[in-house]
Amino acid sequence: MKFYLILFSFFTQIFICRQVFSKEYSIKIIKETETRKWREEVANYQKEQCYRDSLRAVNESKLKNKYYINIAAPYGDRFIPSEELKILLKKYDIIWGGEWMGSDIGGYAPNSCYYTYMTKLTREKFGEEFIDNLIKKSVSNYVKKHPDKIFDEDEHTDWKYKGTYTDVSGKDVLNKDFSNAFLYPKDYDYTKNKYNSQTIAIINLDNTGKVLKIEKFYHHIYNENNQKYIPYFEKEIKKFIQNCKFEPLKYAGYPVKSKIGLRFFYK
């Protein structure tokens, strides 16, 4: 009798567990279905809004020309020489629409398709090269008005070393050249830490790429034994920088005075 009671209890528990798991699974399926439907609705809404925006741009472009500049998120929404560009565009009856910034986490930004299509139509009408030259000219005019302006890397600028971009991995061309020129001290500890040790050098360049000065260093040396070599690291980095030929930082394709940060990684 005891055996049957145990058996009954066992199957009862299985039945209850199945019921619980079945209920949880059903709730999961319902939630996934609702999420999928919501995403489909959002996508359809965004597609519809974009279609309306683009149609409005096409119709308005028959009567007037507008130009907008898209500033990549999340760094801000200002094109520095906007007043200079506005003046240049006006000479050709092009309305300066201003800056707009999309979402850096995806999704539809209000009026983004209108801005995109209106700008595209204006560029097609006047020519890509013509518009790009106006933008460069606006930067040139701004720089002439503000000769002391120092541009930095957070202002949507573009900078390369030997035609390549630097990165935070330490595997870029800059660090390959530095590694080839750098001699490690005799008792340097090569033991690897969780993070790669590095030094960031802040330097100022003129609009030809000439080094005006090395402002400061930021050291992240994770091996305590190697921290005593910081003065040596600075001396070697200064020597490397002084022997380098750098490209100037460019804003909208125009070379400008700048402040940039260079990362030098150690083994």
Residue 230 lies in a domain: yes
Q: According to the model, what pLDDT value does residue 58 have?
A: 93
Token pair belonging to 122: 């204006």
The arithmetic mean of pLDDT across residues 253-267, rounded, is 95
The arithmetic mean of pLDDT across residues 219-234, rounded, is 95
Residue 128 lies in a domain: yes
The arithmetic mean of pLDDT across residues 53-68, rounded, is 94
Q: Is 56 in the same domain as 157?
A: no
Number of domains in the chain: 2
Q: Is 100 in the same domain as 117?
A: yes
Q: State pLDDT tens for residues 123-178.
A: 999 999 999 999 999 999 999 999 999 999 878 889 999 999 998 888 999 999 99
Record the pTM: 0.73
**Domain endpoint, select from 145, 161, 194:** 145
Residue 176 lies in a domain: yes
Q: Is 18 in the same domain as 130?
A: yes
**What is the residue-averaged pLDDT of the chain?**
86
Residue 36 lies in a domain: yes
Angle at 125 between CA 78 and CA 55, to 5 degrees: 75
Q: Is 133 in the same domain as 252?
A: no
Q: State pLDDT tens for residues 185-225.
A: 999 998 877 778 999 999 999 999 999 999 999 999 999 99
pLDDT at 107 over 80: no
DSSP conformation class of 248? P
Instruction: Look up residue 196 and give its amino acid.
Output: N
Q: According to the model, what pLDDT value does residue 22 have?
A: 64
Strand partners, 161: 164
Helix, strand, coil percentages (3-state) for the chain, rounded to 5, are 50, 20, 30
Residue 108 lies in a domain: yes
Q: Which residues contact 29 (CB under 8 A, 6 or more apart)?
A: none
The arithmetic mean of pLDDT across residues 222-240, rounded, is 95
| Cα 115 from Cα 99, distance rounded (Å) | 9
| Structural domain containing residue 26 | 12-145
Confidence class of residue 23 from pLDDT cuts 50, 70 and 90? low
Whose tokens are 């070697």? That residue is 236
Confidence class of residue 72 from pLDDT cuts 50, 70 and 90? confident
Q: Is 16 in the same domain as 141?
A: yes
Confidence class of residue 76 from pLDDT cuts 50, 70 and 90? low
| Cα 69 from Cα 71, distance rounded (Å) | 6
Q: Is 113 in the same domain as 39?
A: yes
Q: Is 74 in the same domain as 25?
A: yes
Q: Is 138 in the same domain as 247?
A: no
